[in-house]
Amino acid sequence: MTSQSIRISLAQQCLEVLGGASPTRRFDVSTSRLGAGEQIDSNKTPRGRHVIRAKIGAGQPRGAVFVGRRPTGEIYSEALACAQPGRDWILTRILWLSGTEVGKNRLGSVDTMRRYIYIHGSPDSAALGRPGSMGCIRMSNDAVIELFELLPVGTVVDIVD
């Protein structure tokens, strides 16, 4: 069996699951509204080779709200969103990324994991297919559930311009 990997295109705002070199699944995503960048506190999406370091949220319901990688017990709704405008919603599942390239996206002031960069679910109303996040890779809730079930910790994730 061919191992799978992920390629995220910042230009195309898509995530592809690759079996070898060929895409087996494709999803629209939203990366940083500020573009690409690796520096801590930049709110930009880091480039380069990463791995899924941790998977968080197994068994949580669709729309479960996370803060600090822990479920709050809330389920996202428009009423909740109206009560908390401007909140950066992290929903359903989290795939926490860790950079593998020292000096580029690992260690020091460019460490992806220390920047808390995730692939995660987002409100159904969130625009996908165009930049809009605060650095993470946003997906639809259904897509992030599928990805979470499909790929193990350690899966390679390449984020490219």
Extract long-range pairs of 112-119: CB within 8 Å, 24+ residues apart.
112/38, 112/46, 112/50, 113/53, 114/40, 115/40, 115/46, 117/45, 117/46, 117/50, 118/90, 118/94, 119/15, 119/29, 119/52, 119/94, 119/95, 119/144, 119/147, 119/157
Question: What's the confidence (pLDDT) of residue 1?
Answer: 43
Token representation of residue 113: 């994991």
Question: What's the confidence (pLDDT) of residue 123?
Answer: 97
CATH of domain 30-152: 2.40.440
DSSP state of 133: B
How does pLDDT run along the chain (161 residues), one tens digit per residue? 458 999 999 999 999 999 977 899 999 999 999 999 999 999 999 999 999 999 999 999 999 999 999 999 999 999 999 999 989 999 999 999 999 999 999 999 999 999 999 999 999 999 999 999 999 999 999 999 999 999 999 999 999 99
Domain ranges of the chain: 30-152
| Residue matched to tokens 């909140």 | 87
**Residue 60 and residue 81 in contact, taking contact as beta carbons nearer than 8 Å:** no
Q: What is the model's pTM?
A: 0.95
